Structure 1
Amino acid sequence: MPLDSVALHRHREVIEAVAELGFTDVWSAETAGSDAFGPLALFSTWSSSLRFGTAVVPVQTRGPALIAMSAATLADAAPGRFALGIGASSPAIVESWNGIPFEQPYQRVRDTLRFLRRALAGEKIDEKFETFTVRGFRLARVPEVTPPILLAALRPGMLRLAGQEADGVILNWLAATDVPTALAEVGADTEVAARIFVCPTTDRGYVGALGRRLISSYLTVPAYRAQHEWLGRGDALGPMWDAWSAGERAAANAAIPDEVVDALIVHGTPDECRAHLRAYADAGVTTPIAALLPTPDMTTPEGLLAAVRAVSPA
């Protein structure tokens, strides 16, 4: 949330429906639409039961103290019901859109995690970290309940950092069959959230076209390409990467095999969507985050709520 097809101020009906349908959490994202914190602050006034989380806040587009203040504000607004997810983001978001050098992403995530641990506990911080220096910062409003911090992780180094130092891990762009590979690196009994793209429609042509556009736009980013090479999809996605590098976007989309779309995009009838989501849970995901993709029927309020119901646990 928020859903792209619904104005932010009109989400109250959706939030109420989500709670009634048995969902436990609502998570936000941050790319080029809404920021990660603002919508959750609004949603927290409409529900006293849902937990709210960010998946994710980029660590390089805000200073560390500002992330701490924003997280503390939401933790104060919804005590015990907020989880802070942070991640490295991507060169496009950090560098191309925000004019900030995308440097040392692993180290910046690690340093921000360590800073936030201490800051959210109310500690005064005066320290030179590897990627930034903080002099004399202390939160003026320390939350009553310290929010858990989850790390977005794609490959072994960040996955291990999440297992060793965070309260959980956020997985992204992986199939249910990939989860055990990722969790073998996390190596800890911890919360495992996963952002799972769901398109609840039986129109395979629509899913194929939308899924291929998403896959080619994401998995050509160096970090995601490296992730899927590590997961063993080098042969399946090699033709897409070659065509993309040659500037042939249409050919890149056409080169993505059906089995890759079916593995990475949950789609079909409501029962088929639930079964696929259950596969992620059975593989070790404790918090499946359904990232609802638009369908041809989501142009009306009725169609939107039907799509939400299609991916509900009820």
Structure 2
Amino acid sequence: MRIGVNVGHFAGAPPADLAARLREIDDLGFASVWFAEAYGSDVFTPLAFAAALTSRVRLGTAVAQVPARTPAATAMAATTLDHLSGGRVVLGVGASGPQVSEGWHGVPYARPLARTREYVSVIRQVLAREAPVRNDGPYFPLPSPGSELGKPLRSSLHPYRPGLPVLLGAEGPRNVALSAEIADGWLAMFFAPAFDADYRAALDDGFSRRPGGRPEGFEVVATVPVVIDDDVERAADRLRPDLALYMGGMGARGANFHHDVFVRMGHGDVAARVQELYLDRRKDEAAAAIPTELVEQVSLLGPVSRVRRELDRWESTVVDEIAIQGLPDDLAAVARLL
């Protein structure tokens, strides 16, 4: 199993020692480095920064938001960076959520799966560069309907890799199935080894609708929190606030897809309580309401011996690569362990 690092998006400001940490990730042999975006830092600028400081590690977006830019603009950024990095880019895209899509980008969120399908189709056309790009779909029509001067165009930049991998960030079973149907991989979040059979079933559903079935090279990359600590409870305490944010605060009641993941895992009562407390601004209580058992399901935490045992379980799942969530305090120690 490959091990990478998902730095995520910047909260407040970028890490002061980011340049040195990125060089260390490359030197220590990690497989990849990923960045994210929400409603602050963007995903491509830090990835370009990482490309300039590294020479070997894969460079991934986890994820580039569909509402943040047109599919042509996303393809332009990805293929430009792929040239400049010598073919190291992995393009992860995702629908985001209605609060960010409509409240931050001003883009309707309705029918996110259909919108994502069309978005990826346009990206594929740009990367293939086989003909001028056309799209008759309702979300990203090209040329623009009613335009007198617009005409189909072919990218002036020849892609470094026409087959640059496109992965989908997905949590719900229908979206996971969509990744298997149209993408080169699935970017998983809050993956739990105990539910591996459910994830495999969703993927198989998508592969069944794909001509030729599962394509060679399809990969599953899971972002996973990792905390090495002899005290399991203390390790879990470090993760509870972040889980509470996603479970309770990333969205509204009835429209929080992270929250729904934990409901599907059988933690509906906990998820409801955490959401109630978090939206009531009782964030510390929300974090404290998350049981250690739940934290353990979606993370690697505790003493070294325990984490090594847990890795055996992850090895048997559909996951091909673990992307450690955030920048570990001691990258060298994590590299030796994992």
Same topology, TM > 0.5: yes
The answer on whether the counterparts of 1:200 and 1:307 sit within 8 Å (CA) in structure 2 is no
Match of 2:107 among 92, 100, 105: 100
Aligned equivalents of 2:189 and 2:290: distance in 1?
Answer: 18
In 2, are the aligned partners of 1:151 and 1:170 still within 8 Å (CA)?
yes
Q: Is structure 2 residue 247 aligned with structure 1 residue 239?
A: no
1:38 aligned to 2:66? no
**Partner residue in 1 for 2:322:** 288
CA contact (8 A) 1:2 1:8 kept: no
Task: Give identity over the alignment, percent.
Answer: 28
The separation in 2 between residues aligned to 1:145 and 1:248, in whole angstroms, is: 49
Query: Are the aligned partners of 1:59 and 1:86 in contact in 2 as well (CA < 8 Å)?
Result: yes
User: Is structure 2 residue 334 aligned with structure 1 residue 310?
Assistant: yes
TM-superposition CA deviations, 1:160-218 (whole Å, max 9, x none): 11111111111101222233321221124420111112233445555444422212221
Contact kept? 1:74, 1:82, Cα under 8 Å: yes
Q: Which residue of 1 aligns with 2:142?
A: 134
Q: Give distance in 1, aligned partners of 2:17 and 2:53.
A: 12
Structure 1 equivalent of residue 244 of structure 2: 216
Question: Which residue matches 2:183?
Answer: 166
Q: Quote the Cα distance in structure 2 between the aligned partners of 1:94 and 1:227.
A: 20
Contact 2:127/2:159 (8 A) holds in 1: yes
Greater RCO (CA < 8 Å, at least 6 residues apart)? 2
Stretch deviating more after TM superposition (165-174 or 192-201): 192-201
C-alpha change, 1:309 and 1:241, in structure 2 (3 Å) is same
2:160 paired residue number: 144
Return 34-43 or 229-238, whichever deviates more.
229-238
* Correspondence for 2:82 among 60, 75, 82: 75
CA contact (8 A) 1:16 1:47 kept: yes
**Aligned CA-pair RMSD:** 2.7
**Cα gap change, 1:30 to 1:281, in 2 (>3 Å):** farther
| Residues 275 and 21 of structure 1, relative CA distance in 2, 3 Å threshold | farther
- Displacement, 1:67? 0.7
Matched residues in 2 for 1:225 and 1:87: separation? 17
Aligned-partner residue type, residue 227 of structure 1: V
What TM-score, normalized to structure 1? Answer: 0.85
**Corresponding residue for 1:120?**
127
Select 1:87's aligned residue among 70, 91, 94. Answer: 94
Shift of 1:30: 1.2
2:153 aligned with 1:153, yes or no? Answer: no
Between 1:148-157 and 1:45-54, the stretch displaced more is 45-54
Letter in 1 for 2:85: A
- Structure 2 distance, partners of 1:310, 1:270, is 10
User: Structure 1 pair 76/313, CA: closer, same or farther in 2 (3 Å)?
Assistant: farther
How many residue pairs get aligned? The number is: 304
Contact 1:153 1:171 in 2 (8 A): yes
